[in-house]
Structure 1
């Protein structure tokens, strides 16, 4: 057990999928895993461990924002031996050719600051995804007839952003979408020599103001979970 995770030793798998919403973790575990069992509910942050095609998998909520994700990712890696961490979540599109419901695979994650900024100090570290996971996710998506967008995303510090100039600069520089967690996940993966990837579903669009209807979210997010699992265990059909 740790301060924020109540799982016993051995109850967390080496492969962990991390949605922000703990209830989405519950839904994903019940939908995609066999024999899923709740292993954490400290502070309402749910975590479940089961199997996917014979492979042990944990699906654990991260909360919203980089500080929250940093807590859980640090403990999962340091205290439970997680080796592969894949963020599964939603994002807002920042390019006109990226559409609602599209899939974004984050190759890099830019940010103004992260919980790791104090460590890097004057260094502008460039956090990026694990290449093997990224390549496997592209192949898994294409095998399902999907065409994912692969490139840079922006991990924001705040949800209610009042910096339209910054958003315009991100768009100008080809940033595909904005979310709030991936940059710190990639920082931690580099620091601890583990694998990380963010697989994101576009739920809304900052330029067109479109939004994914509630009734369509589950189906679209399901594609994201399947691709994340296939990326973690390449070769499974």
Structure 2
């Protein structure tokens, strides 16, 4: 790696911990650094994508924003895993609930990521990969969720999500089909993260908070979105620390 960093990350070698929390929004990255990590210092801010490194429960841990969409998260995850010695990345983001059984503020742990992107297709092979998280991180997140103390938030759900390239996707039949197949929520990054982790030999997991509902039209305000994801961050961080 060049001493000045990668094309999208200005951190020096050793600036990132092996364990990384990855929200989409740079403001969430800063909030996690300020309220969740201890002794956090800014290590990169290229293109306004903030990255910090500190500790959590005495272990080095970093946070880096991914931006929106599969191409963006794929770039940052690849550079972290390939050039900075990162071993595990946990996405902590927002999602739109699909079935009525998932309510606003529920946490969704993504056991698989369906997608309409080409990220799961191997070139010139006709093969589409199954995009799934690290089994170790998934199991650790489920155990962490079971030990969480009730704090007025929603339930924790474990199941597939749909990672789409289209934020304004107006295709109800697609969501009907996905719901019949057990899909819990729609978002825009998990499939890209899982694909990169598989390609680079890393471990990945997505822990999401339902902030919108496709069926009811309910949605949290911008301020609520910024403050309701603490439980997902705790679950994701516990998973990163698992043996």
What's the TM-score once normalised by structure 2's chain length?
0.92
Question: What value does the CA root-mean-square deviation take over the aligned residues?
Answer: 1.6
CA contact (8 A) 1:66 1:114 kept: no
State how 1:118-133 maps to structure 2 within 5 Å: 119=123, 121-133=125-137
Task: Give unmatched runs, 5+ long, in structure 2.
Answer: none
Select the residue among 39, 54, 57 that pairs with 1:35.
39
SS of the equivalent of 2:28 reads: helix
Match of 1:159 in 2: 167
What's the TM-score once normalised by structure 1's chain length?
0.94
Match of 2:183 in 1: 175
Q: Deviations over 1:95-126 (max 9, x none)?
A: 11011000000000001124453637511211
Matched, 1:212 2:220: yes
SS of the equivalent of 1:165 reads: helix
Structure 1 CA distance for aligned equivalents of residues 47 and 221 of structure 2: 29
Q: CA deviation at 1:219?
A: 4.1
Structure 2 CA distance for aligned equivalents of residues 161 and 215 of structure 1: 24
State how 1:66-105 maps to structure 2 within 5 Å: 66-105=70-109
Q: Deviations over 1:119-175 (max 9, x none)?
A: 375112111011111111111111114641111100001101132221221122110
CA contact (8 A) 1:70 1:115 kept: no
Match of 1:45 in 2: 49
CA contact (8 A) 2:33 2:52 kept: yes
Match of 1:229 in 2: 237
Match of 1:142 in 2: 146
CA contact (8 A) 2:119 2:191 kept: no
Matched, 1:20 2:41: no
Give aligned pairs, total. 235
Q: Deviations over 1:10-42 (max 9, x none)?
A: 001100111000111000110100110010101
Q: CA deviation at 1:213?
A: 3.6
Task: Give unmatched runs, 5+ long, in structure 1.
Answer: none
Structure 2 CA distance for aligned equivalents of residues 184 and 117 of structure 1: 11
Match of 1:188 in 2: 196
Structure 1 CA distance for aligned equivalents of residues 165 and 97 of structure 2: 17
